[in-house]
Amino acid sequence: MPNLEKGMVQVYTGNGKGKTSAAFGLALRAIGRGLKVYIIQFIKGGFDYGELYVVDKLPNLTLKPFGRGKFVTEKPPKENDIKLAEEALTLAEEVVKGGEYDIVILDEINVALNLKLIKTERVVELIKKKPKHVELVLTGRYAPKEIIEAADLVTEMREIKHPYNKGFQARRGIEF
């Protein structure tokens, strides 16, 4: 198994486009090298995303979406959203601890943290106790400062220009 010698903790956050895409692109590169990748999707699981239709064609890539088919935004959060996020985090803990996967991507986990669906301390604990060879990737807006402190590599996707006021609508195949 072509393990990484040293796995790091990467965070992709910010209000700009490309956080989830960057994580999927990273997954693509990794499986090209024979690494094993596990993607767990918080919040938006169940929603209809284009990438879901191509994952089956790729070797060594497992994707598990959690969610109820739409973005969660309520504060305070609903019981069911908390339950789903906790299930996702429990799976994340198992997959990371198991050490079988070289890269574990926790997509939109920062949003789940921001909405207080799961506890930040539990994710910081996961980061600190991960096996050395596992690369952990956390995406989503609003990464809490405790996560940024615990991470090795943090990138902010900053929106410089966006066509909101030109009647912009999410497009099938691009935005979802």
Which lies closer to its own copies via its Cβ, residue 76 or residue 173?
173
Interface with its own copies, residue 31, by CB under 8 A:
yes
Number of residues that make up the chain: 176
Which lies closer to its own copies via its Cβ, residue 83 or residue 159?
159
The one segment of 27-35, 86-94, 112-120, 123-131 that binds its own copies by CB under 8 A: 27-35
Interface with its own copies, residue 71, by CB under 8 A:
no
Contact set for its own copies, span 49-68 (CB under 8 A): 49-55, 57-59
Given a contact cutoff of 8 angstroms between Cβ atoms, the answer to whether 154 and 22 are in contact is no
Given a contact cutoff of 8 angstroms between Cβ atoms, the answer to whether 100 and 65 are in contact is no
CA distance readout (Å), 27 to 3, 33, 137, 159, 176: 14, 10, 10, 23, 18
Residue 106, strand partner residues: 40, 138
Tokens of 163: 């066509």
Angstrom distance (rounded) from CA 151 to CA 160: 25
Among 1, 5, 74, 170, binds its own copies (CB under 8 A): 5
Contact set for its own copies, span 127-166 (CB under 8 A): 135, 148, 151-163, 166
Q: What are the residues binding its own copies (CB under 8 A)? A: 2, 4-6, 8, 10-14, 16-26, 28-35, 49-55, 57-59, 102-103, 135, 148, 151-163, 166, 171-174, 176
